Amino acid sequence: MPLEVDIGIGWDWEYDRNFISILDLECNRRGLQSYLVYPHNLDETIGKLSSGELIFKMFLDRASESDSRFIPLIKLLKKKEVIFVNDHALSAIANDKSIMHLEFLTNGLYVPYTIILSSYEEDPQFDESDIHSIGTPFIVKPADGGGGRGVVLGVKTPYE
């Protein structure tokens, strides 16, 4: 008899620990069975899902964006037509700050004055007058990712 779980939760980021713990507790409190997928039980989980020993009704993906080892799990769950709380392809778009900034503007939402630049590796030359128009200090954020990774606060020159 397979173990049928209401929601599988894949995660790999240490800063998610509290969020995942609260989510797991709330699921259990509400009578929902959750199954946590970490990097250390990923292969075992894929094996159980492949053999039919384990079934997820839904899946919350908090890992595949940052850890490609989770991609086979995502592909398997899509093949099995599991409902995704956050579809991987849509999450990738939503995590791109430059795309979302433009989407917000297009749809009439207020966003702070922003200058979107190519990465330094792609284009080390830029028009410094753009930077000066926002004033100082300013914040530099990478176009993708989250959780504060890569954010630099209090920047006063383009070369910091």
CA–CA separation, 59 vs 23, rounded Å? 13
Instruction: Report, as an integer, the average pLDDT of 70-99.
Output: 88
Q: Is 35 exposed, middle or buried (0-12, 13-18, 19+ CB in 10 A)?
A: buried
Mean pLDDT of the 60-76 span: 93
Query: What spatial distance separates the first Cα and last Cα of the chain, rounded to whole Å?
Result: 59
Is the predicted pLDDT of residue 63 greater than 80, yes or no? yes
For residue 23 the two structure tokens come to: 């989510």
- The predicted pLDDT at position 71 comes to 95
Asked if the peptide bond before residue 137 counts as cis, ω within 30 degrees of 0, the response is: yes
Contact by Cβ (8 Å): 69, 10: no
User: How does DSSP classify residue 3?
Assistant: E
**132 backbone dihedrals φ, ψ, rounded to 5°:** -65, -25
pLDDT value, residue 147: 61
Mean pLDDT across 48-71 = 95
Kindly report the CA angle at 150 between 146 and 155, in degrees rounded to 5?
A: 125
Cα separation of 127 and 137, whole Å?
A: 18
Q: What domains appear along the chain, each with residue ranges and CATH number?
A: 3-93 (3.40.50.20), 95-155 (no CATH)
pLDDT in tens, 97-153: 888 888 888 999 988 877 777 777 777 776 777 677 777 787 777 776 666 677 788
Q: Report, in this order, helix, strand and coil percent for the chain, each rounded to 5.
A: 40, 20, 40
Q: What is the pLDDT of residue 15?
A: 86
d(CA 154, CA 53): 52
Q: How open is the CA angle 19-25-30, to the nearest 5 degrees? A: 125
The count of other CB atoms within 10 Å of the CB of residue 11 is 21
Coil vs helix vs strand at 25: helix
Average pLDDT over residues 24-42: 97
